[in-house]
Amino acid sequence: MKIQIKSFSSHQSSKIIALTFFVLMLPFSVISILFFFLAPEVGTSNGDTMPSFPFLFFAFAPIFYGVMFYLMQRLFFFVYNRLAKKFGGFEFETSE
């Protein structure tokens, strides 16, 4: 039996994809926070000190990934739903 997907719920689908990437990035975030506190600091020309590598960028990466994947997938599903009405959607075959 062939089944065709005519439409996706863009909000729900995007939310699940964004949350999935958020969870997948959490281990990297924890590791980067650890390295942030353990990394040696580098002196600047005016006497201040700063971390030698921007570990905090990686600490906030899950939030960045979550927001960006939500927005991009929302756009993808919007375009997919428009095109699926005109040309047909993804098609797959099932058997019982």
| pLDDT tens readout for residues 37-78 | 777 777 777 877 776 667 777 778 888 888 998 999 999 999
Q: Give the per-residue pLDDT at 56.
A: 73
CA atoms within 13 A on the CB side of 85: 6
pLDDT band of 3, cuts 50, 70, 90: confident
**Position 84 pLDDT exceeds 80:** yes
> Which residues lie closer than 8 Å to 91 by C-beta, 6 or more apart?
2, 3, 4, 5
Cα–Cα distance for residue pair 88/9, rounded to 1 Å? 16
Task: Indicate if the alpha-carbon torsion angle 68, 24, 16, 63 is positive or negative.
Answer: negative
Q: Give the C-alpha separation, 69 to 2, whole Å.
A: 30
